[in-house]
Chains A and B, each alone.
Chain A
Amino acid sequence: MKHTESLAFQDLILTLHRYWGDQGCAILQPYDIEVGAGTLHPATVLRALGKKPWKAAYVQPSRRPGDGRYGENPNRLQHYYQYQVILKPNPDDLQDLYLNSLKAIGIDPKLHDIRFVEDDWENPTVGAWGLGWEVWCDGMEVTQFTYFQGVGGIEVDVVSGELTYGLERLAMYVQGVDNVYNLKFTKEGTTYGEVFLENERQQSEANFHGYDVDGLKRRFEDMVAEVSRLLAMRGPQGQALVLPAYDQVLKASHLFNLMDARGAIAVAERQSYIGRIRDLCKACALAWVEEEKRAA
């Protein structure tokens, strides 16, 4: 890789936006609720259900409170970006489309070793699973490539292709940088560290030592109750309030992650918490599918 010509972090994002926008994707902005992975954005999890075609791409900040390292680890962050693409149904040439996106950001497959290595993806918290690969570039995993088979515990009607690019890793690779904080965020030289290092320090401390555990637990229970309440209500057109209900599931999920980072989840409780979130997710997924049938 010629470092001098490599894309800055934000240019990488802008290039992918341009590329996937040209493929007919709606370019969305990040969801405004904390999520652990781009998949959890309703534009993926909910839209993957039902029969309606859908194409979208967006950047999603991923919050993983337990992964915080106070900004001291060169690759681990409690807040990082994923670039998420969902195409439903998956086009026949999704692999080619993907490879062309790598070319667009400057990875030449005749110079680098691109591989599709088996990886069966699963997210137990949202009851989602799929088959696909980790895509490797010169031995580094740069993308998760998945054909969704189930979401919210329900087998999908139509298979979506999902691409999740790990943006920081990809940028580190493209820029030839070994420490995430040294990434060029802008061409002019603003670094990733200047943007995010302080955030990592403060958030790590809050994640591990700051939040009030009892408060987190209380709010978790509140969110759980809210999901059922909202799902029981009907909107002006008689629809179930799936989207607001799902927002509460996301909040509950993040509260769980915070409790976990605080070390407040006993081993024996863990499965039960995850099970509760999965059940809520499943309730939303079922309501979403019902809603699509009702509207049709």
Chain B
Amino acid sequence: MPQLLLELFSEEIPARMQAQAARDLERMAGERLKAAGLAYEALTTFAGPRRLTLVVEGLPAATPDRSEELKGPKASAPEQALEGFLRKTGLTRDQLTERDGVLYAVIEQKGRATADLIPEMVEGIIRTFPWPKSMRWGDGTLTWVRPLKRIVCLFDGKVVPFIVTDGSPELGGRAPGIESFDATEGHRFMGTGRPLKVRSFEDYRKQLEDNYVLLDQADRKLDILEGARSACRARGLELVEDDGLLEEVSGLAEWPTPILGDMDPSFLDLPPEVIRLSMKTHQKYFAVRDPATGGLAPNFVVVANVEATDGGKALAAGNSRVLSARLNDARFFWDEDRKVGFDAWLKKLEGVTFHAKLGTMAERVERIAALAREIAPLVGADPDQAERAARLAKGDLASGMVGEFPELQGIMGGYYARAEHGDAIADAIRDHYKPQGPADTVPTAPLTVAVALADKLDTLVGFFAIDEKPTGSKDPFALRRAALGVIRLVLENGLRVPLERLVDRHGRVIRDREVRRSLEFFRLNQQTSMATFRREGDDLVLDWPYGTFVKHGPNPYITASHVKENYPLTSDVFVGIMIPVDDGNGSCRVNEEGGGRFSIFLGTNVVSDLLAFFADRLKVLLRDQGKRHDLVDAVFALGDDDLVRIVRRVEALDAFLATDDGANLLAGYKRASNILKAEEKKGPLPVGAVGTGLPNQPEAETTLAFAVERARGAVDQALETEDFAAAMTALAGLRAPVDAFFTDVMVNSDVPAERENRLKLLGQVRAVMGRVADFGQVAG
């Protein structure tokens, strides 16, 4: 079966775009072949520094003949309708067939040679290829990621002739576009420099390899790894492997040639992170480890694109000199930073905006410091230490080194703080961004945990307060990662943290600051009418020329419009003022006149939204661990905000439901709940004490009543000590009485008193079970 080979040869394609380009080519070619009715056996694509290649195996020589019947007008239809149909089908009246008074046209479509279908297909791919950025060149209009130079297009060993026109003027015999051909070229410097005529994919691949081009990125990666490892081994060293870097360098060389170079050992006194990042970011070198010390060796591996005629001596020496210049820059930052220090950096953060609506980095530092202080006792850290560590934690963002290498945030702060502030604080600064992803480790040192939690909670509360929540795939402030970080910090350290209270309190801190800022704005814009704002306990007091406004209560909000209604102000005067006032719903939005400039506020909805967000993230985490997410819902419905307790409860519930008692009790719960729900629709359910020893009361009813009583006591006691297994055991005691009750007792008795007592009893069953979990949320 024939083979299709397509190569799109261009100037150097950015490394970061190559893998996606291979996937796009695969998808686009597959779609187009399918649309053309061409079945194939296999389709493979390759991407490299200068070429995208497609090979399709097992294509037919032509598409099959097709015959299609088209329904036309009725035989009795007016002349125009018939004419229209004939025009459309290109047939004459006598070629139509008639069936049941309707005319039909049979269109015979001859199969087309596959080779005839290819040009349009290739041109379509070229003209619509989704490069992240593409460009024009010369005086043409064609676009590609970089100038497209050649197209190799062979079907069944023969050139498929076509020209992709590029809109350039026809001048001096120059083809007005790019013509398909059967010749490619090899390595830019090591190849023969002559066009390589190819006959098939196998021949193409072999000739490329003979001309120093490895077509397949997987081969290039393998060569790099093996070459780099053995170059290191030969000197008794070890390669520091790096998948991201490997991916990139394998897109920068057609004939990757790893070479071990020497670094001036005097640079080894720089932090290893700095050396590695300097090598990776600026030079795309791999770092090298000395297995004897476990530390970095004074070497690097550069992946060249050429087997140099001198064995790579000159280029290793050249790269080494460039690296020295880079490391000299890094040393400059390292030396300067240590002269400058945290005081100056923190001062500098006053001029750095964190987010337009959330103030400067300095303000953020203050908030994190206050929060870390509050969290410290909850995690076993010293509040003064926690506040100090938090205050220093963001300082390195203003340092020269982190300005150069943002990835070193925290790490540099740790180095710079260690001598003066001690190991615990330095570690807290270094690790407070952790965990940065599901694979990252979670800090355990109490001080670090306090700062890490404060950092993440400030981010979460702040962005939720200004309504910048993640939506769908958009999470520009990485809030999901922050929430997962909080959850893992809490769970993996077994911390008992009242999240709701922390979130609510911190929300107020953010809101108060916004109020102060609003009033400052007001003062600046209305210099004759001074207003002052203060908090007295939970009360908000605003003194201004129009009188004193006091709003009592812990949740005082006031909107501009509210004030306007009560005070003789023009809207101009009040632009931008947002004073917290309760609008009754626990939340309020700034009025439009505020222009959104001060639209920051935190109602209870922010707290509940954020807690729901945590619940959602916890569900994802537990699901990844193979736990049932409906159980998380069942436990979250209780309104608890203690993650450790929630997880323990979920685990106990999971174990309980796996038992026979658990599964049966769940069925009993559902039955009771259904009856109650049906009754609730008719009117309020009866409440109050369940009677026992009533006339004609079935034994099963009395037994259940006592069982519920016992269970309640046991459950309460178990919950008191957070012994959820015991709580489940207590519930298990209900299984037999519940089953017996449903077997022996008719809830809907004709005697109203009996019916009422039984409904009360079922209500109590639901209530006592509901103290352990919301079984209504459990699937089953």
A interface, CB within 8 angstroms of B:
1, 51, 74-75, 89-92, 95, 109-118, 120, 130-133, 137-140, 147, 149, 158-159, 173, 176, 178, 267
Contact = CB atoms under 8 A, between A and B. Distances in A.
B310 A111 contact: yes
B318 A159 contact: no
A120 B318 contact: no
Contacts of B322: 138-140
Given A111-B314, A113-B304, A159 B325 contact: no
20 contacts: A1-B318, A74-B325, A89-B137, A95-B11, A110-B190, A112-B318, A113-B304, A113-B305, A113-B308, A116-B12, A118-B14, A118-B16, A131-B145, A133-B12, A139-B284, A147-B146, A159-B135, A178-B321, A178-B325, A267-B351
A109 B189 contact: yes
Contacts of A159: 135-139
A130 B135 CA distance: 8
Nearest to A140: B322
Nearest to B138: A89
Contact of A158 (B139, B146, B189, B351): B139
Contacts of B188: 109
Contacts of A1: 314, 318
A149 B146 CA distance: 12
B315 interface: yes
B323 interface: yes
Chain B contact residues, majority secondary structure:
loop
In this complex, the member of B138, B305, B315 whose beta carbon has the largest number of chain A beta carbons within 10 angstroms is B138
Nearest to B257: A113
Interface string B281-308: 0011100000000000000001011101
A137 B318 contact: yes
Contact of B308 (A95, A110, A147, A176): A110
Nearest to A149: B135
A138 to B, nearest CB: 3
Contacts of B284: 139
B147 interface: yes
Given A90-B138, A109-B189, A131-B146, A118 B304 contact: no
Nearest to A116: B12
B527 interface: no
A6 to B, nearest CB: 13
Contacts of B302: 113, 139
Nearest to B190: A110
User: 3 tightest A-B contacts by CB?
Assistant: A138-B318, A118-B14, A116-B12
Contacts of B139: 51, 89, 158-159
A68 B314 CA distance: 32
B682 interface: no
A138 B319 contact: yes
A111 B309 contact: yes
In this complex, the member of A89, A112, A120 whose beta carbon has the largest number of chain B beta carbons within 10 angstroms is A112
B539 to A, nearest CB: 37
A145 to B, nearest CB: 9
A171 to B, nearest CB: 14
Contacts of A131: 133, 135, 145-146
Contacts of A147: 135-137, 146-147
Contacts of B314: 1, 111-112, 138
A151 B262 CA distance: 43
B644 interface: no
B579 interface: no
Interface in B472-523: none
Contacts of A117: 12, 15, 252
A118 B189 CA distance: 19
Interface string B336-367: 00000000000000010000000000000000
